[in-house]
Amino acid sequence: MTVITDALCPFCGCMCDDITVAVENNKITEVKHACKIGAAKIMGHHRIKAPMMRTDKKGDFKEVSYDEAIEAAAKILADSKRPLMYGWASAFCEVHKKGIFLAEEVGAIIDNTATVCHGPSTLAVHEKGLPSATLGQVKNRADVVVFWGSNPVHAHPRHMGRYSVFAKGFFNEKGRKGRKVIVVDVRKTETAGMADEYIQVEQGSDYLIISALRAILAGQAAVVPDSVGGVTKEQLVKLVDTLKAAKFGAIFFGMGLTQSMSRYKNIDNAISLTTELNSFTKFVITPMRGHYNVTGFGQVCAWETGYATAVDFARGAPYYNPGETAANDVLTRKETDAAMIIAGDAGAHFPADSVRHLARIPVVQIDPYWNPTTEVANVVIPVAICGVEVEGTAYRMDGVSLRYRKLVEPEHPTDIEILEKITERVRKIRGD
Ligand code: SF4
């Protein structure tokens, strides 16, 4: 038996790097220190065993060779006038690079899972920047922590233990006792149940509440009404006092802020609040990114194309305009005539109209796992699991890049190998 220590978990944006894995005969037999969802991914489940194809959407899958599946995938992309290549968040940066290259080759729109989670955060960061910090700085310094529209107990189970709430740090030796934890949310989540203060807001009123906090912070409390979004003025004034009194404050925001009314303007406003708090003390703000390498796609896409997401190569040069070029924009307009879904699950997370359109057009799925996207796919190509069977680079939610090791030898080809072969076949089909 081999014991691998300090392995990284390839599930959520926390990218916990203290995992111990036992390996016997190239099989992972035990995972220690990971949370349940992380351990489940490392142990493996619902793997697709072999490439599969169906001739029409209603037909059953039949197993085919990798060569046949790659040829079919290349033909779908080469024949398409408006291909979409979506997903990427559960794969490494090295995979993203190959994917962007293929997208340019076929004139596709390339978009990632941020389109249904933190895409609005990206837009806000364009406008305002991001006064942020590493999770290590938060662990070592933060004495006031705000979770706004995020529920780490469920979505990032070890975030509070490793970085933000219970962790003891260099300047915070008391851990939980040395921190004030505030949760702002529409309902009393499990995270709210563990907070020192829970502020319940009315659905869709986050922008108003942040604006009220900024007014109070600016010494203009007189303009704030007695109640804003279900929160009393007294509570708001108290909250501003707590934030100002912090030695080092950290706001972690989730999809309760990015995907509720006002969307990217909520984040824009929250970033402004954070910037203004820095006139009084040190304050930082960080998005709670979901898939472990969704941040990495934004990085690679930005350095390769100039834009972080929703990039359209139809003109031969990168063009970006979320609202027009994001995955769900082209799907709900029924504009795209073929799709490749890789390392993301559009079938599970997209609106019904988008999934209905995916069910009508040829879809190539590249993924280790059987998931709802498989149900609308014509060609399915199983691959090795990044972070378990493949080594590579990913970016944690705070933008720190870390290197994953291979824990076991793969039985399937890697995403990179498949993308390279598809690109090669596309070029041959098109006579390039
Ligand atoms: S918190 Fe996230 S990264 Fe850490 S073990 Fe759980 S799923 Fe993995």
Which residues are within 8 A (CB) of 285 and not within 5 positions of it... i.e. 6 or more apart? 130, 131, 132, 250, 251, 252, 253, 270, 271, 274
- The CA distance from 265 to 211, in Å, is 11
pTM score of the predicted model: 0.96
Q: What spacing in Å lies between the alpha carbon of 266 and ligand 1's midpoint? A: 27
Q: Is 12 in the pocket of ligand 1 (CB under 6 A)?
A: yes
Q: Is 38 in the pocket of ligand 1 (CB under 6 A)?
A: yes
Phi, psi of 63 (to 5 degrees): -70, 140
- The CA distance from 157 to 150, in Å, is 12
By the 8 A CB rule, do 341 and 377 touch? yes
Give the model confidence (pLDDT) of 326-337 as tens digits. Answer: 999 999 999 999
Give the model confidence (pLDDT) of 79-121 as tens digits. Answer: 999 999 999 999 999 999 999 999 999 999 999 999 999 999 9
- 49 by Cβ neighbours in 10 Å (0-12 / 13-18 / 19+) ranks as exposed
Q: What spacing in Å lies between the alpha carbon of 388 and ligand 1's midpoint? A: 14
Give the model confidence (pLDDT) of 208-250 as tens digits. Answer: 999 999 999 999 999 999 999 999 999 999 999 999 999 999 9
- The CA distance from 212 to 218, in Å, is 10
The residues spanned by each domain of the chain are 2-41, 47-117+292-429, 119-287
Assess whether the region 47-117+292-429 and the region 119-287 belong to the same CATH fold: no
Q: Is 9 in the pocket of ligand 1 (CB under 6 A)?
A: yes
Report which protein residue has its CA nearest ligand 1's atom 8. Answer: 38
Residues of the chain with pLDDT > 90, as a percent, come to 96
Q: Is 404 in the pocket of ligand 1 (CB under 6 A)?
A: no
Nearest to 390 by CA among 27, 95, 13, 20: 95
Nearest atom in ligand 1 to the alpha carbon of residue 8 is: 3
Give the model confidence (pLDDT) of 305-320 as tens digits. Answer: 999 999 999 999 999 9
Nearest atom in ligand 1 to the alpha carbon of residue 157 is: 1
Nearest atom in ligand 1 to the alpha carbon of residue 36 is: 6
Report which protein residue has its CA nearest ligand 1's atom 2. Answer: 12
Give the model confidence (pLDDT) of 28-59 as tens digits. Answer: 999 999 999 999 999 988 899 999 999 777 78
- 61 has pLDDT over 90: yes
Q: Is 288 in the pocket of ligand 1 (CB under 6 A)?
A: no
If one residue of 153, 158, 159, 386 were mutated to test the ligand 1 pocket, choosing by the most ligand atoms within 8 A of its CB, it would be: 158
Report which protein residue has its CA nearest ligand 1's atom 7. Answer: 38
Q: How does residue 2 score in pLDDT terms, banded at 50, 70 and 90?
A: very high
CATH of region 47-117+292-429: 3.40.50.740
Nearest atom in ligand 1 to the alpha carbon of residue 15 is: 3
Q: What spacing in Å lies between the alpha carbon of 14 and ligand 1's midpoint? A: 6
Report which protein residue has its CA nearest ligand 1's atom 3. Answer: 15
Report which protein residue has its CA nearest ligand 1's atom 1. Answer: 158
Which CATH architecture group holds 119-287? 3-Layer(aba) Sandwich (3.40)
Phi, psi of 98 (to 5 degrees): -65, -40
- 341 has pLDDT over 90: yes
Predicted confidence at residue 315, as pLDDT, reads 96
Nearest atom in ligand 1 to the alpha carbon of residue 34 is: 5
